[in-house]
Structure 1
Amino acid sequence: MDVLIRRRPVKYARIEVKPDGKVVVTAPEGFGVEGFIDRHRRWLEAKLGEIDGLREIAESGFPIGGEFYTVVRGRKTKVHERFRTVVLSAYRDEAISGLKAFLRPRLLPLVGEYSQKMNVTPGKVFIRHQRSRWGSCSAKGNLNFNVRLLSVPPGLREYVVVHELAHLRFPNHSKAFWEFVGGFYPGWRSAREELRKWWSIIELNSYWRWLGGESEELPEIPGLHNR
């Protein structure tokens, strides 16, 4: 078990399992961490077992729209949906730029469609490579969406759009916010649960780890082809 202990001036200790399987314990000085871990061992083992199952799925290829595509190395990044193939440039910035270009025409129409349905007017819409959230809404009404959204099933992408647009009406996560979201996406609870799983899959996927700068070179590709 990979455990990171963080000593902080907190009143209560807490334990969490990160999407990559690391266990993080945040506790005050002098707190007995080993006993704390033992008391939560059954829960931890269940969470780590779930992540181990997702780890196997994550290495099935590059996730696009909830499915896994074969990766080939090439000069210019491009997704071939017909052949379920992703050409990835060995240059990280170019690869990310190509993936953003693939996501944009699949995301912006959703923003336009739901803006009208929800009677809200967003400012600018950006697609960014973020490591902590699927999307965000700024105080100015600008929307930020994570390029990682290209990997999740289209229905989950739709939920993220509804969620961020709802923040134009309700800047918090109040009961009124969730009621508003539910009026346009009734299955938001299950969508949130599925998105947690997909975040773990992306965190565990070797290609996304490379895109995030966690490895220097594009991962070795079984049966490598070049384009």
Structure 2
Amino acid sequence: MEVEVRYRPVRYARLEIKPDGKVVVTAPEGFDVNSFIKKHERWLRKRLEELEEVRKEASRGFPLLGRFYELELGDVRDVEIAGEKVVLPENREKARKALKELLRVKIIPLVALYSALMNLSPGRVYIRNQRTKWASCSSRGNLSFNLRLIALPEGLIKYVVIHELAHLRYLNHSKAFWELVGKFYPDYRTARGELRRWWGIIELNGGWRWVEGR
């Protein structure tokens, strides 16, 4: 287990596992890091085992709408799917644009449907290349969705839309917020776990590393 310790002016120590398997401990000066790691060793081992499974999935191919494809770059304008192969424009910016348009086709009808069902009025809808969040909701009611969502099964895309719409009413993760989400997506707890797994898959996937310029 590779461990990196970062001493910072923080009140409490925290653990983080990077996509490459490195364990990062952020702690105040003088903190007993060895005891901290030993205390959480079982949790760390479990998470590292899960990460290994994610790494295997990430190597299956390019994830798109919950399926894995052989990725090919070619002289195309849009995302083209033929059997087990997906073809993207060979220019990275054009590939991002094509994926954004594909996601927009999925997102806009969902926003329209669930905003009506939830009696909410969102502002503008954006598709962005976000690096830390699946989506976000601004104080003005604008919704931003991560391009990475196009990699997910459509059921999870629906969950993210419902989650962000719920923030138009509750700008927090209170009990009332989760009750609203649960009314329209009862299995939200499972969805949250699945989103963590898919984030790891995308982080480790070679095709997505190319798309994002990593």
TM-score after normalising by structure 1: 0.88
89-98 vs 157-166, which moves further: 89-98
Count of residues in correspondence between the two structures: 214
1:197-212, aligned counterparts within 5 Å? 197-212=197-212
Aligned equivalents of 1:20, 1:75: Cα separation in 2: 33
1:80-119, aligned counterparts within 5 Å? 80-119=80-119
Given the superposition, is the C-alpha separation of residues 104 and 60 from structure 1 closer, same or farther in structure 2, using an over 3 Å criterion?
A: same
Q: C-alpha displacement at 1:12, in angstroms?
A: 2.0
Q: C-alpha displacement at 1:32, in angstroms?
A: 2.7
- Give SS of 1:171's match: coil
RMSD of the TM alignment (CA)? 1.5
User: Which amino acid in 2 is paired with 1:135?
Assistant: A
What runs of 5+ residues in structure 1 fail to find an aligned partner?
215-227
1:137-176, aligned counterparts within 5 Å? 137-176=137-176
Aligned equivalents of 1:25, 1:39: Cα separation in 2: 13
Conserved in 2, the CA contact under 8 Å of 1:78 and 1:86? Answer: no
Q: C-alpha displacement at 1:19, in angstroms?
A: 4.0
Given the superposition, is the C-alpha separation of residues 55 and 12 from structure 1 closer, same or farther in structure 2, using an over 3 Å criterion?
A: same
Q: C-alpha displacement at 1:17, in angstroms?
A: 1.6
Q: C-alpha displacement at 1:23, in angstroms?
A: 1.5
Conserved in 2, the CA contact under 8 Å of 1:20 and 1:200? Answer: no
Q: C-alpha displacement at 1:21, in angstroms?
A: 2.6
TM-score after normalising by structure 2: 0.94
Q: C-alpha displacement at 1:76, in angstroms?
A: 3.2
Deviations 1:33-82 (A, max 9, x none): 23322332222121111111110111111101111011112133533345
Given the superposition, is the C-alpha separation of residues 159 and 124 from structure 1 closer, same or farther in structure 2, using an over 3 Å criterion?
A: same
1:55-70, aligned counterparts within 5 Å? 55-70=55-70
Q: C-alpha displacement at 1:20, in angstroms?
A: 4.2
Conserved in 2, the CA contact under 8 Å of 1:76 and 1:98? Answer: no
Conserved in 1, the CA contact under 8 Å of 2:79 and 2:89? Answer: no
Moved over 3 A (4+): none
Aligned: 1:53 with 2:91: no
Given the superposition, is the C-alpha separation of residues 82 and 119 from structure 1 closer, same or farther in structure 2, using an over 3 Å criterion?
A: farther
1:17-32, aligned counterparts within 5 Å? 17-32=17-32
- Give SS of 1:31's match: coil
